[in-house]
Homo-oligomer: A and B are copies of this chain.
Amino acid sequence: MELNENCGIFGIWGDREAPTIVFLGLYSLQHRGQESAGIVATDGEHFFTQKGIGLVFEAIDQQKLTSIKGRAAIGHVRYSTTGKTLYRNIQPLVVEGSKGLLAVAHNGNLVNSISLRNSLVQEGAIFQSTTDTEIILHLLAREKKNLIDALRVSLSKLKGAYSFVFLTPSAMIVSRDPYGFRPLVLGRRRNGAYVASSETVPFSLLDVEFLREVEPGETLIINDGGIHQAFKIPSKRKAFCIFEFIYFARPDSFMFGNNVYEVRKCFGERLAEEAPVKADYVIPVPDSGLWAAIGYSQKSGIPMEFGLIRNHYVGRTFIQPTSSERAFSVRLKLNPVPEVLSGKKIVLIDDSIVRGTTSRKIISVLRKAGAEEVHLRISSPPVKWPCFYGIDTPTRAELIAAQKSVEQIRNYLQVDSLHYLSKDGMLSCVTNPQNFCTACFTGDYPEPLYDAEFAKMRIKEREEK
């Protein structure tokens, strides 16, 4: 529960209420990014933009949206991985160049962004944002080809993770990198409009029928004529982000050929098999541990209870009283139920441990509320390596599992026992396990890291405060 996703993207073609539908799509994808939101619509000639800081309903003025006559629109919600939110970094980015008006929304991170940016700068490009995403716009503008051919050449230069939704006055284009790191799904509304979305979760609200996932390497053109494959970059291997199942995606989404809920519950079942324990209750860390806890409870037969209650009215910042204890930040969100916990042996279920600081605070809260034994079970393997494909992980120095043994972690967290789900156990829950990226557990990155590691450190210094 300590990791942050980069973003969610959503687009629609052929709907009289396109901007409003994108607004609602972004609202449903809000869990993928809460720092800023933007929508770009087109009426076939002009572009109309709305962007802002905060949640979708804070950043975007719905009233204005309804006055836009666009039949197509794309949108983006963002969690800033690179320091402070700058207005000019809010996506979708909109530019005018040799391909005319062009907007893009991006989920993922490139691993060769520094060298690409440097060589573009050498060639005279000027960068107005500090995002990876601006690179594709420069590459496209510099190709003296039509947009699709330019895309074919430009995408081949990108290394790393990207799910793109582009908008032009005459078409929406979606592209997914050949590894398929980040999800991207297609659907059709009852009125015939085509939809692209990071996840299927908005489909129920918007009466969208699921069509299929965009395949790794695929670039599709979507316009009034339907959906057509423009080209497909061949894929040596696939590398679906397993963390989408562990933590990021909504449980009610379908992606990478699996339903998130089922996979997440299966993690809990496997964990119960791999690391059983005698206990009174299974207690989930809400909401991240909820689904694995259901699996663990059902498989183990130990009843699940909600020993921690989550406060859903959390604001952005709180002034901490001088007198408050260390676990204050956790207590703002999670409150213990002493009547459930007191004198009980509990199995605490969470999805992952990153730095370990939050887990430690949660456990101290449980202890103080009277829990007699706390057995921590984590529904994923130890996170030992940073992600460079769109998840905001700290450096190895900060990853507790990269620095300590499981026993040392157990001791640090002050739990009676600690078990992580095994990599095999985890992969047994998904179809086609060979298609998943598990680099954050193993360090086996699906492709060379180019300048990504370097970028990670430098980017924070370069940008404005």
Contacts and interface: CB of A to CB of B under 8 A. Distances in A.
A324 to B, nearest CB: 7
Interface string A119-146: 0011111111000000001100111100
B31 A204 contact: no
Interface stretch (A44-52, A227-235, A415-423): A44-52
Interface string A322-358: 1111001001100111011000000000000000000
A58 B316 CA distance: 10
B205 A94 contact: no
A95 B324 CA distance: 33
A115 to B, nearest CB: 15
A318 B127 contact: no
Contacts of A93: 128
Interface string A307-328: 0010111011111011111001
A259 interface: yes
Contacts of A464: 46-49, 94
A289 to B, nearest CB: 13
A195 B465 CA distance: 25
Contacts of A450: none
A17 B57 CA distance: 33
A321 B17 contact: yes
A28 interface: yes
A398 interface: no
B97 A127 contact: yes
Interface in A181-212: 189-191, 201, 204-207
B335 A205 contact: yes
Given A94-B128, A98-B124, A339 B48 contact: no
Contacts of A49: 86, 464
A394 interface: no
A369 B204 contact: yes
A304 B315 CA distance: 31
A363 B23 CA distance: 26
A30 to B, nearest CB: 4
A223 interface: no
B261 A340 contact: yes
A419 to B, nearest CB: 23
Contact of A88 (B88, B252, B261, B298): B88
Nearest to A258: B339
Interface string A443-464: 0000000000000000000111
A258 to B, nearest CB: 9
A142 B335 CA distance: 44
B94 A121 contact: no
Contacts of A304: 294, 304
Contacts of A2: none
Contacts of A201: 335
Nearest to A57: B315
Contact of A313 (B31, B123, B317, B336): B31
Given A48-B464, A201-B335, A250 B309 contact: yes
Given A46-B464, A126-B141, A251-B306, 9 more contacts: A27-B311, A31-B313, A46-B463, A97-B127, A98-B121, A189-B323, A252-B335, A261-B339, A312-B312
Query: Which 9 A-B pairs rank lowest in CB-CB distance, beginning with the nearest?
Result: A57-B315, A124-B142, A97-B126, A259-B339, A95-B126, A30-B313, A252-B309, A126-B141, A205-B331
Interface of A: 17, 20-21, 23-24, 27-28, 30-31, 34, 46-49, 51, 55-58, 62-63, 65-66, 86-88, 93-98, 102, 121-128, 137-138, 141-144, 189-191, 201, 204-207, 250-252, 254, 259, 261-262, 290-291, 294, 298, 303-306, 309, 311-313, 315-319, 321-325, 328, 331-332, 335-337, 339-340, 365, 369, 462-465
14 contacts: A31-B313, A46-B465, A55-B313, A65-B319, A94-B464, A96-B126, A123-B124, A123-B142, A204-B336, A207-B325, A252-B337, A261-B337, A261-B340, A262-B339
